[in-house]
């Protein structure tokens, strides 16, 4: 049986069509006419959303004890929030935790599992954010080889590093091995950042946050990132970045910004607090913070981030949709995702006129 969905405007990954249809057969998108028609009321149909920085959900954080079954549940939790595919993210941890998670990822077969994001431990403690400074350390040869070998076992491996802890030569070796390197949690200068980009770094993690800022004499990593034309992750919750600063980023790098949630354990739950490395994290007013007020991840979904970009930042709808679909797919080299085209897996979402989540489909099966 094939099903044709009609009613909403259709974003195909490149363009927004005010009127269009989407036909699904055997879990894939087809250009043939469907044998059944389903009308969906208003709003938008667009490819399944992709989240490349997601640290927790369903009450649990990604950690060294996370196993393949945990990753399955993690992917399902975020699919119900609109992200049909994710990069589970481990923030700064021990060598043993990194190795264990890579092994679990290598055994995960969930269709929503894109690979892993290791955010640290090779960062600058001056820009630690909520990361444990006792675990931050420079990259050694053994750790570099673990990442290179881990990439062979995973669909994708992205790592956030600081130039203070990783040399350009190491970035070049990681890139040659297929590891996606991005910069973050660093106080590096504009010129040092540019050198890291020249060595192979593809962009930055959570633009503006935990990095050297844009100044008129020293543009810092923020300035280098926004004028590089490279990929810049953005936490569009209104707390991590002010809407005006988002507008500046859009003007400077109109094609490079993509949305992430930086979600933590409370995602998909009604939890009001949890612990991270023995520290209490509070969930209040759409924010997650340490007791001292330091932001510790975000209380955000991708549909909410899209709404923020359109209603508060003024981004065109087409651009905001691309920031959660085609652009993150391009960063990790997954041209089969982020678009609604014949032959692609039928992962898609229905958003209302206000960008609220109305439905999620994975391989043509409705989840929400």
Q: How many domains does the chain fold into?
A: 2
For residues 257-281, give the mean pLDDT.
94
pLDDT tens, position by position, 84-105: 999 999 999 999 999 999 999 9
pLDDT tens, position by position, 197-214: 999 999 999 999 999 999
Q: Are residues 72 and 200 in the same domain?
A: yes
Are 273 and 282 in contact by the 8 Å Cβ rule? The answer is: yes
Instruction: Supply the CATH number for residue 9's domain.
Output: 2.30.40.10
- What positions carry a catalytic annotation? 262
d(CA 249, CA 65): 37
Q: Is the pTM of this model over 0.85?
A: yes
pLDDT tens, position by position, 238-260: 999 999 999 999 999 999 999 99
Domain housing 298 = 49-331
Q: Are residues 292 and 360 in the same domain?
A: no
Who's near 256: CB < 8 A, 6+ residues apart?
Answer: 203, 228, 229, 230, 231, 232, 327
Q: Are residues 10 and 91 in the same domain?
A: no
Q: Are residues 248 and 179 in the same domain?
A: yes
d(CA 65, CA 109): 18
Q: Are residues 17 and 144 in the same domain?
A: no
Q: Are residues 169 and 318 in the same domain?
A: yes
pLDDT tens, position by position, 298-355: 999 999 999 999 999 999 999 999 999 999 999 999 999 999 999 999 999 999 999 9
Q: Are residues 29 and 137 in the same domain?
A: no
Residue 336 lies in a domain: no
Q: Are residues 209 and 320 in the same domain?
A: yes
Q: Are residues 95 and 83 in the same domain?
A: yes
Give the DSSP letter of residue 113.
B
Q: Are residues 320 and 351 in the same domain?
A: no
In this model, does residue 34 exceed pLDDT 80? no
Confidence of residue 35 (pLDDT cuts 50, 70, 90): confident
For residue 131, the SS3 value is coil
């Amino acid at each position: 049986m094939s099903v044709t969905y009609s009613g909403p405007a259709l974003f195909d990954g490149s363009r927004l069509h005010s009127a269009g249809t989407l036909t699904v057969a055997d879990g894939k998108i087809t250009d043939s006419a469907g044998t059944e028609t389903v009308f969906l009321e208003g709003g938008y149909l667009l490819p399944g959303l992709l989240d490349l920085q997601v640290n927790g959900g369903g009450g649990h954080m990604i950690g060294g004890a996370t196993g393949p079954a945990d990753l399955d549940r993690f992917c399902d939790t975020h699919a119900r929030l609109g992200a049909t595919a994710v990069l589970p993210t481990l923030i700064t941890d021990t060598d043993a935790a990194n190795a264990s998670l890579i092994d679990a990822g290598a055994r995960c077969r969930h269709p929503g599992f894109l690979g892993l994001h290791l955010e640290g431990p090779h960062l600058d403690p001056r820009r630690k954010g909520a990361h444990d400074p006792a675990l931050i350390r420079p990259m050694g040869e053994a750790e570099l080889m673990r990442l290179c070998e881990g990439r062979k076992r995973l669909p994708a491996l992205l790592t956030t590093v600081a130039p203070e802890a990783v040399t350009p030569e190491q970035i070049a070796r990681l890139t040659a091995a297929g590891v996606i390197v991005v910069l973050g949690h660093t106080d590096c200068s504009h010129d040092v950042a540019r050198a890291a980009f020249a060595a192979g770094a593809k962009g930055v993690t959570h633009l503006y946050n935990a990095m050297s800022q844009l100044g008129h004499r020293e543009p810092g990593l923020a300035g280098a990132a926004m004028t590089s034309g490279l990929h810049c992750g953005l936490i569009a919750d209104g707390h991590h970045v002010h809407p005006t600063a988002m507008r500046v980023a859009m003007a400077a790098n109109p094609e490079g910004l993509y949305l992430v949630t930086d979600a933590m354990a409370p995602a998909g739950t009604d939890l009001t607090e949890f612990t991270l490395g023995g520290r209490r994290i509070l969930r209040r007013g759409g924010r997650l913070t340490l007791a001292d007020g330091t932001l510790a991840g975000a209380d955000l979904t991708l549909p909410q981030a899209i709404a923020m970009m359109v209603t508060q930042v003024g981004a065109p709808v087409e651009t905001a949709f691309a920031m959660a679909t085609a652009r993150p797919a391009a960063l990790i080299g997954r041209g089969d995702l982020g678009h609604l085209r014949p032959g692609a897996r039928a992962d898609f979402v229905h958003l209302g006129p206000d960008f609220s989540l109305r439905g999620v489909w994975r391989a043509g099966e409705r989840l929400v």
